[in-house]
């Protein structure tokens, strides 16, 4: 096996959308956040790209609790209404996982806690420099349906 081939490969994450509660083995949550009609995205301190808030569901934690925790940890938001939008099947050339997508309608933005996130920023539209360009637009499109 040629290990260098895999070390240099940059798999592109992709996704398929499913109705909420389709999967009972969701490992991740993604939070599509809006504040006063703008997209609220976070930037990891090791990247120059923007992303949704989200991450692993911890043992014994519900998807909703994980979404609320990740939203705070990665944006400082403590005051938001959260809605389960859909589930997704995320995959690349090396594997897959199931996740739950939540919409956060943010009422106020607090101080960003000390974490791996460098900043939180508001956008009128999704920026071009997204961490997951093949996934984020699809998930936000689903979340926006819930805003109507």
Q: Which of 41, 29, 32 is nearest to 66 (CA)?
A: 29
CATH of the domain at 94: 3.90.79.10
| 4 domain-assigned | no
Q: Other CB atoms closer than 10 Å to residue 11's CB: what's the count?
A: 11
pTM: 0.90
Strands (E), 9-59: 14-19, 28-35, 38-44, 50-51, 53-56
User: What is the domain range of residue 43?
Assistant: 12-147
Q: What is the pLDDT of residues 114-138, one digit of tens each?
A: 888 999 999 999 999 999 999 999 9
Q: Encode burial over 114-146: b for 16+ CB neighbours within 10 A, e otherwise.
A: eeebeebeeeeeeeeebbbeebbebbbebbeeb
Q: Are strands 53-56 and 28-35 parallel, antiparallel or unpaired?
A: antiparallel
| 7 domain-assigned | no
| 128 domain-assigned | yes
Q: What is the pLDDT of residues 54-81, one digit of tens each?
A: 999 999 999 999 999 999 999 999 999 9
Q: Reduced to 3 states, what is the DSSP secondary structure of residue 43?
A: strand
125, 75, 103, 148: CA torsion to nearest 10: -40
Phi first, then psi: give them for residue 95, nearest 5 degrees: 170, -170
| 5 domain-assigned | no
Q: What percent of the chain has pLDDT over 70?
A: 93
Count of domains observed in the chain: 1
Q: Which two tokens stand for residue 128?
A: 């071009």
| 73 domain-assigned | yes
pLDDT given at position 1: 41
């Amino acid at each position: 096996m040629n290990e260098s081939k895999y070390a240099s490969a940059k798999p592109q994450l992709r996704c398929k959308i499913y109705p909420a509660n389709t999967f009972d083995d969701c490992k991740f949550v993604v939070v599509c956040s809006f504040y006063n009609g703008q997209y609220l995205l976070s930037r990891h301190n090791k990247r120059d790209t923007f992303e949704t808030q989200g991450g692993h569901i911890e043992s014994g934690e519900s998807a909703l609790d994980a979404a609320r925790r990740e939203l705070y940890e990665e944006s400082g938001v403590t005051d938001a209404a959260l809605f389960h939008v859909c589930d997704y099947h995320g995959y690349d050339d090396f594997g897959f996982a199931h996740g739950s997508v939540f919409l956060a309608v943010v009422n106020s933005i607090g101080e960003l806690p000390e974490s791996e996130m460098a900043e939180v920023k508001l956008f009128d539209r999704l920026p071009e420099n997204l961490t997951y360009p093949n996934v984020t637009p699809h998930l936000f499109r689903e979340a926006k349906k819930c805003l109507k």
